[in-house]
Structures are given as structure tokens and as C-alpha cells.
């Protein structure tokens, strides 16, 4: 009994020691990781302008079929957005629990989910103008580009684009529409959905898959 | 891209609902075991202890919206040309402006108070009577030229004074709120200067009518965006809850600073070194 206890204490000591060491080292690691290259002024604006022009060109081209529009949209999405990061953020704590098979399935579904959500709205395009108004570099070296989407006859919508540099690429990490973060809203939706599924990630992924199929625009 | 969330949220300014009776009715959400720290953190973040009751009322409100509000909003939109609807909105906003001015002052926002005052004078005199928002300029070529409308209310003032929001509430008919905002709406009835423009026995109906008109007008501007959000959401209730929170946070922050910053601990955004591309499509 005594031997066991000593063994137990030794193990606990080892675990606590490792944890302390990790706690000491980890912030440094996390810090090094989270620091991308600070963006140059104008860099983010140029990217958003290019994206806006490409999106407007795609949406207003009446000769393009829906399939081709979706293909172009998917390309823009992957080029301009930190899609994987946004997907991970949207799944929150459940991402860490997911195994690699679930992660792969989720990432694929997430992309299709975004593509299908927006593809259903391609037809609603009515000559909206995309105007870049200003840019701000934040204290962490990321950039926030302020744009206005002017609807003909409607109220303008203010949209903020948050960009960061990671692994050599400048990408969008969040879009804020009139003060509301799309990433955060998605995260709340998903968190509640996984909870409704009793924390069962596979059940959530089934629901997500059904949603993706449901919102798929016809044609 | 045309999500105009502002008015999706049917806000309440005349909350006459007895908060106490709701609380008494309430079934409570079961908190997760304290040992599950992450689940506990998520539970606190949702800040929705009355969730089962709130979800029920949300469904009731959706039913009412389908049966009453949405059809009326569609008829209103179909019957009135855009400029007439804009006049309705300008008029309602102008009547609210003395109250907004008051709350600008109470929040120590002198510049915004002077904006509100200028808007009130200009639109009342030249609108005329607030029937056109001439102060905002409404020039699509120079959107920064005018002074656009901004909203303030007692809920926002209390927040600026440091009061927390309290649990999330879904009010019957009136829609999403929280303890602070519901309290604010109810008490603001007695503060709003425009309510003293009519005799005491007409005050309630005056206020209620303004609220009804405002609700119909803003619903008519969001029929499609609301549908889009509903279609895209997996958990519509949780999505609306998040939208309401963020919308209020952004109103309270008066558009300054990151009202809703992405949580900085979002290590999910940083986790691995793989390329960010998900799909293999190429141009």
C-alpha cells in the first residue's frame, strides 16, 4: 500500500512538474505563433479592392452560369479568406475534441456550407456598389478595412474586413456587417447545435450535411 | 451580403411586460456539471438561464411574425413607395430624437448630443416636421456629408454607466432582450420627452402606436435578409441570440473600437501550419 502511495505521489509530482513547465513554455510558443508579419499600409486595402472587383464582376456577368459562378466564388473564398481558421474558430472547443476524420469531414462541409449559403443569393445581385472607405492597422499588426456596400435605392451597409498575415499569406479572418461578426455568429450557432446534439460531433456533422444539402440553390 | 441586421431584431421600447411574472413562469436551463470547465464557460457565455422558456417564446413569436407582422410588413412595403416609407421612418425617428439627445447627454457624448440636436432642429424645420431626413443628406454620392441617424435608449445609458446586461430574455411579442434592456424600455416610457407632448391618458397609446409603426417599417426592410438568416442557421434561436447581443454591444460602443472582438484566445485561428486552403479547386 505504502509503495503504491509513494508511486502515486511520484507520478503526481511528475505530472504537476510537466504542467508547470508547459505553462511556462507555452505562452512563449503561442506568442511566437500568433505574431504574423505586420501588414504594410495599403496592403489589405488592395486585397479587398481586388476581391470586391472580382466579386462584382462575377455577380454582374449575365453570361456566366450558376455552376461557373459557384466555381469562381469557391476560388475567391479559398484565396482571400483564412477559411480553415474561421472554420476551426466556428467549431470552438469541439474542434479540439474532433478526431482527424471528423475534422476533415467538417472542413469540407464548412466550405460547402458557406458556398451554398452565398450561392443562393447570387441571383439577388442588383447592381450593388462596393466602396472601400478606409483602413486601419491594429496593434497586433492586422488590418481592418472599412467598406460600404451601396444598394440602389436602399440604405448603405457598412462592412468591416479583418485581415492578418499568417504563413506568408494575407487573408481575411472576419467580416463584420454593421457591427456584427460573421465568425462569432457562426460560432454561436454551431456551439448551440452541437449542444443540442448532446455533444455528439458526428450527429452535428450529419445535421450540417443535411443543411448544406437543403440550402443548395437549384440549377 | 445584404444582411441588414439592425432591424431584424424587433426591439422593444415600451416593455410593459412584468418581468417578475416571466421569472416566476420560468423553467431553468440545467447548468453543466461544474467539473466540465469548458462546458461551464460556454454556459456562462450564453448567459441564458431561462433558455427553455425563451426558446418556447421564440417559437410563439415566430408564429406571430408569420401570421401577423410579416404579412402586414409585406402589404405595407407593397402599398407604399420607397419615399413614403422613408418618410414614415424619418417621422418616427424624429419623434424619438429628443430622447436620444437626452441619452447622449447622460452618456457624456457631447458631440453626438450636438448631432442629435442639429438633426432635430433641421428635420423638424426643413423636413418639414421630420417627414424627410434632410439632415442625413441622403446623397449616395457623398454619404459622409450629412449627419446620419443614431439610436440611444436607457438600456444603452445603463450599460455605459456600468450595469451588466443580466440574463438574455425573449419577451413575448416584443422579441429579444435582456434584463437591463427590458427594464430600460419600461422605465424609458416615463423619461421619453415626446410622451409628454400628449395628455396623460393618451400617453400609453401614443407610445405603443409609435412602436408598432416602427416595428412594421423595420420589418418591411428586412423580409429577405431575415429569411436568409433563418434558412442558413442551424440553430436559429441561438443565432438570433448572438445577433441581438452583438447588435446591442455595437450600439453601446457607438461604433467605436471593437465592440465584438474575436476572442483573443482564439487559438483555433492559429492552430496548425497547414495551408489555409480547404478545397483543391484552382482557377
- Looking at the complex, does the CB of residue A74 fall below 8 Å from at least one CB of chain B? yes
Q: Which residue of B270, B271, B274, B280 is the best one to mutate when testing the A interface, meaning the one whose CB has the most A CBs within 10 A?
A: B270
- Looking at the complex, does the CB of residue A132 fall below 8 Å from at least one CB of chain B? no
Residue whose cell numbers read 397609446: B205
Averaged pLDDT, A168-177: 92
In a domain, B78, yes or no: yes
In a domain, B16, yes or no: no
Q: Give the angle subtended at the CA of B149 by the CAs of B61 and B100, to the nearest 5°.
A: 80
What is chain A's mean pLDDT, rounded?
Answer: 86
- Judging contacts by C-beta atoms under 8 Å, the chain B residues touching residue A121 are 1-2, 228
In a domain, B5, yes or no: no
According to the model, what pLDDT value does residue B1 have?
A: 35
Q: In this predicted model, what pLDDT tens digit does every residue of A58-91 receive, in sequence order?
A: 998 888 888 999 999 999 999 999 999 999 999 9
CA dihedral (B217, B218, B219, B225) positive or negative: positive
**Between chains, do B140 and A166 touch, taking CB under 8 Å as contact?**
no
According to the model, what pLDDT value does residue B14 have?
A: 36
Averaged pLDDT, A13-24: 64
Minimal C-alpha gap between A203 and chain B (Å): 13
What number is the ipTM of this complex? 0.80
**Per-residue pLDDT for A199 more than 60?**
yes
pLDDT band at A28 (very low <50, low <70, confident <90, very high): very low
- Judging contacts by C-beta atoms under 8 Å, the chain B residues touching residue A111 are 278-279
According to the model, what pLDDT value does residue B8 have?
A: 39
Provide the number of structural domains found in chain B: 1
Q: What domain range is B100 assigned to?
A: 47-277
Do A162 and A176 contact (CB within 8 A), yes or no? yes
In a domain, B70, yes or no: yes
According to the model, what pLDDT value does residue B44 have?
A: 76
Report the distance separating Cα A90 and Cα A173, nearest Å.
11
Helix or strand or coil: residue B136? Answer: coil
In terms of Cα–Cα distance, which of A67, A159, A162 is closest to A115? Answer: A67
Do A178 and A157 contact (CB within 8 A), yes or no? yes
**Per-residue pLDDT for A142 more than 60?**
yes
Contacts of B204 (CB under 8 A, 6+ apart): B14, B16, B189
Report the distance separating Cα B194 and Cα B203, nearest Å.
9
Q: What residues of chain B score a pLDDT lower than 50?
A: 1-20, 22-24, 264-265, 272-275, 282-283
H-state helical runs in chain B = 19-25, 37-46, 51-64, 70-79, 82-106, 110-126, 154-160, 179-191, 203-220, 223-232, 236-252
In terms of Cα–Cα distance, which of A141, A172, A175, A180 is closest to A160? Answer: A175
pLDDT band at A176 (very low <50, low <70, confident <90, very high): very high
Report the distance separating Cα A162 and Cα A175, nearest Å.
6
Domains, chain A, with CATH or none = 3-214 (3.10.450.710)
Write out the DSSP string of A69-116. HHHHHHHHHHHHB-HHHHHHHHHTHHHHH--HHHHHHHHHHHHHHHHH
In a domain, B146, yes or no: yes
Q: In this predicted model, what pLDDT tens digit does every residue of A2-12 receive, in sequence order?
A: 666 677 777 77
Amino acid at each position: 500500500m505504502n509503495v503504491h502511495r509513494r508511486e502515486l505521489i511520484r507520478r503526481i509530482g511528475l505530472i504537476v512538474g510537466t504542467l508547470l513547465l508547459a505553462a511556462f513554455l507555452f505562452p512563449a510558443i503561442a506568442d511566437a505563433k500568433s505574431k504574423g508579419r505586420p501588414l504594410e499600409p495599403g496592403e489589405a486595402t488592395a486585397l479587398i479592392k481586388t476581391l470586391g472587383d472580382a466579386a462584382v464582376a462575377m455577380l454582374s456577368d449575365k453570361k456566366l452560369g450558376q455552376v461557373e459562378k459557384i466555381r469562381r466564388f469557391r476560388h475567391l473564398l479559398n484565396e482571400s479568406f483564412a477559411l480553415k481558421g474561421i472554420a476551426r474558430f466556428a467549431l470552438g472547443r469541439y474542434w479540439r475534441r474532433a478526431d482527424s476524420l471528423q475534422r476533415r469531414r467538417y472542413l469540407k462541409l464548412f466550405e460547402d456550407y458557406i458556398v451554398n449559403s452565398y450561392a443562393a443569393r447570387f441571383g439577388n445581385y442588383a447592381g450593388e456598389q462596393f466602396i472601400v472607405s478606409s483602413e486601419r492597422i491594429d496593434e497586433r499588426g492586422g488590418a481592418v478595412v472599412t467598406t460600404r456596400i451601396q444598394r440602389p435605392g436602399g440604405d448603405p451597409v457598412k462592412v468591416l474586413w479583418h485581415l492578418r498575415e499568417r504563413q506568408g499569406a494575407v487573408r481575411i479572418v472576419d467580416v463584420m456587417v454593421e457591427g456584427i461578426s460573421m465568425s462569432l455568429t457562426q460560432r454561436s450557432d454551431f456551439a448551440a447545435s452541437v449542444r443540442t446534439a448532446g455533444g455528439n460531433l458526428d450527429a452535428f456533422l450529419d445535421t450540417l450535411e443535411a443543411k448544406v444539402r437543403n440550402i443548395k440553390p437549384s440549377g | 451580403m445584404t444582411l441588414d441586421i439592425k432591424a431584424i431584431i424587433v426591439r422593444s421600447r415600451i416593455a410593459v411586460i412584468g418581468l417578475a411574472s416571466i421569472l416566476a413562469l420560468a423553467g431553468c436551463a440545467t447548468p453543466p456539471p461544474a467539473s466540465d470547465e469548458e462546458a461551464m464557460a460556454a454556459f456562462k457565455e450564453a448567459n441564458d438561464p431561462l433558455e427553455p422558456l425563451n426558446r418556447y417564446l421564440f417559437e410563439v413569436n415566430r408564429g406571430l411574425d408569420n401570421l401577423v407582422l410579416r404579412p402586414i410588413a409585406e402589404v405595407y412595403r407593397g402599398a407604399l413607395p420607397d419615399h413614403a416609407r422613408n418618410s414614415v421612418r424619418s417621422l418616427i425617428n424624429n419623434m424619438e430624437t429628443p430622447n436620444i439627445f437626452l441619452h447622449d447627454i447622460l452618456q457624456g457624448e457631447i458631440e453626438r448630443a450636438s448631432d442629435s440636436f442639429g438633426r432635430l432642429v433641421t428635420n423638424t424645420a426643413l423636413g418639414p416636421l421630420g417627414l424627410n431626413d434632410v439632415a442625413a443628406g441622403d446623397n449616395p454620392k457623398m454619404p459622409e456629408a450629412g449627419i446620419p441617424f443614431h439610436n440611444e435608449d436607457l438600456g444603452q445609458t445603463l450599460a455605459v454607466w456600468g450595469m451588466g446586461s443580466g440574463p438574455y430574455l425573449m419577451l413575448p411579442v416584443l422579441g429579444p432582450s435582456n434584463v437591463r434592456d427590458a427594464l430600460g424600455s419600461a422605465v424609458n416610457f416615463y423619461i421619453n420627452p415626446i410622451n409628454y407632448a400628449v395628455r396623460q391618458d393618451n400617453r400609453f397609446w401614443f407610445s405603443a402606436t409609435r412602436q408598432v409603426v416602427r416595428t412594421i417599417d423595420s420589418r418591411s426592410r428586412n423580409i429577405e435578409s431575415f429569411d436568409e438568416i433563418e434558412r442558413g442557421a442551424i440553430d436559429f434561436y441561438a443565432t438570433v441570440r448572438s445577433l441581438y447581443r452583438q447588435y446591442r454591444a455595437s450600439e453601446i460602443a457607438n461604433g467605436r473600437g471593437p465592440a465584438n472582438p474575436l476572442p483573443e484566445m482564439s487559438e483555433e485561428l492559429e492552430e496548425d501550419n497547414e495551408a489555409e486552403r480547404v478545397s483543391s479547386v484552382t482557377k
